[in-house]
Amino acid sequence: MPDDKPDLAKGVKAEDLREASPMIGLYEGQEVILVRHGRELSALSAKCTHLGASLDKGLVVEGQVRCPWHHARFSLADGTAEGGPAIQSLSCFRVEETDGLIRVLGKKAAPSPKSKANAERIVIVGTGAGGHALAAALGRAGRGADVTLIGAEPDAPYDRTFCSKQYLQGGKSRDECFLPAEGLDQVKIRTGTEITGVDVQSRELETAQGERIGYDRLVLATGASPKRPDFPGAEQGHLLRSLADADALIDAAKTARTALVLGASFIGLEVAAALRACGIEVTVVAQGTLPLARILGDEAGRHIMNLHIDKGVRFRMGETVASFEDGTVVTDAGARIPTDLLVLGTGVAPRIGLAEAAGLDMAEGGVAVDATLQSSDPAIWAIGDIAAVPAPLSGKRQRIEHWVHAQRMGEHLAQDFLAGTATPFRAAPFFWTGFYGKQFRYVGHARPEQVEIDGDVQGGTFAIRYRDASGSALLTSGRDMLALEEEQAREVAARS
């Protein structure tokens, strides 16, 4: 560990700690940040609990410090994780300012949540980002005994983004994919349980085993399922949505020398990068002229495509797969491509069967909810991929299929349930992707109808702003996104 960091037990000069500018130091060998915000001083552990980014590079705003990598948010008051993708809180330290010095005095004991159970049954269907975040937040507040979290998959809640990123690329073990259990000790977690129906009159769920589970508040966080295209041999292709899918793909890649990825989506391109890192020859077949151009515009799409080409990925754009048999992919253009491994990155469909059977209003291919995430049934809410939420600026409903966005929906709903309120959800969508060590971060939601470029896209250091009739968005690489995200949030607030 570097020894040039100040010893916070001995203290630092008060005049050296600037407002809203975290300073990193050491306390008993642990990295700690000091933050001055208004009249307050805070001392918190320095590493983001998501993936370990150093928070001295983060942004201080609205009583929070925000992670520079994936924008997790932590309370400066007590270190609580207040915004995904982080779930676990930071350690909090006692700090004092006397005689022109600021000293850390010791670690504060983590508060033990007092049970606030009130016999109101909160049932969450879906153990992904939104469902887990909601259950964990309620549990941390002492309401865990009221909560049942139900998932059809046999695995405990896990970070789905790892399936195409850290786990697939070998950066994390399988055990490291599971989400933190903080706040879940009192929550009733039921994995491997398929819900087959919702009886809205009796407020009961029906399971595949014939069991009935009662609820007072039901939250549908059922996510999405990958689409399998319809061509001869498609059943031999690997999908990538679940941890089990990632297990199967990792196992298949061990003996593969060649792979073909159908679809130049974010998932498809992340898989292509991971397979190239394993030394596998990769061909990407996709419709359109450039990857991701419909979402990110031509300049960014060309840059991302070139990153892959530089690593040896071959592209066949403007084509699709017509068949796969005897180890050969045949495209609709007649090309024959020998392939050991076929990966299908052809999008997902929201899992709305339960909502439709319950008679809920639908919109944009998902569940129509109001700004508070409540459905047409006053006892049912929907979050995550299935939720069609009014956009803050246009009011037009939109579905956002981002992991962090689903987490923040769950966190928002938890705050409302705890406070007995119903407030609008206005968080700006945020996601990240990366290839070959290059990170891209996107905040907001807009089609690339109007594109403003700041920086050198092909050089890899840029910010791109997108605007359409309903909103705006930003994409950055090699540039600080945190300040731009806050700017985006302020614009939404000012125009709402």
Domains 12-107 and 229-346 in one fold: no
Q: Strand 314-317 to strand 380-382: parallel, antiparallel, or no bridges (unpaired)?
A: unpaired
pTM of the model: 0.91
Q: What is the pLDDT of residue 495?
A: 61
Highest CATH level, class, for 12-107: mainly beta
229-346: CATH homologous superfamily? FAD/NAD(P)-binding domain (3.50.50.60)
Q: What is the pLDDT of residue 481?
A: 76
Count of CB atoms situated within 10 Å of the CB of 106: 12
Q: Which long-range contacts (CB under 8 A, 24 or more apart) does 29-32 make?
A: 29/1, 30/91, 31/1, 31/5, 32/8, 32/93, 32/104
Q: State whether residue 416 is helix, strand or coil.
A: helix
Of 154, 201, 195, 159, the C-alpha closest to 178 is 159
Going residue by residue through the chain, which has 496 residues, state the pLDDT in tens, using 9 for 90 and above: 446 899 999 999 999 999 999 999 999 999 999 999 999 999 999 999 999 999 999 999 989 999 999 999 999 999 999 999 999 999 999 999 999 999 999 999 877 666 565 679 999 999 999 999 999 999 999 999 999 999 999 999 999 999 999 999 889 999 999 999 999 999 999 999 999 999 999 999 999 999 999 999 999 999 999 999 999 999 999 999 999 999 999 999 999 999 999 999 999 999 999 999 999 999 999 999 999 999 999 999 999 999 999 999 999 999 999 999 999 999 999 999 999 999 999 999 999 999 999 999 999 999 999 999 999 999 999 999 999 999 877 778 999 999 999 999 999 999 999 999 999 998 888 899 999 989 999 988 889 999 999 999 988 899 999 988 878 888 999 777 787 777 766 766 666 5
Examine residue 85 and say whether the peptide bond preceding it is cis (omega within 30 degrees of 0): yes
Of 21, 43, 47, the C-alpha closest to 95 is 43
Q: State whether residue 107 is helix, strand or coil.
A: strand
In CATH terms, 122-225+349-419 corresponds, of 3.40.190.290, 3.50.50.60, 3.40.50.300, 3.40.47.10, to 3.50.50.60
Q: State whether residue 403 is helix, strand or coil.
A: helix
Q: What is the pLDDT of residue 480?
A: 73
Name the residue ranges covered by the structural domains of the chain.
Answer: 12-107, 122-225+349-419, 229-346, 437-495
Q: Strand 397-398 to strand 430-435: parallel, antiparallel, or no bridges (unpaired)?
A: unpaired
Q: What is the pLDDT of residue 115?
A: 56
The distance in angstroms from the start CA to the end CA of the chain is: 47
CA separation for the pair 262, 269 (Å, rounded)? 10
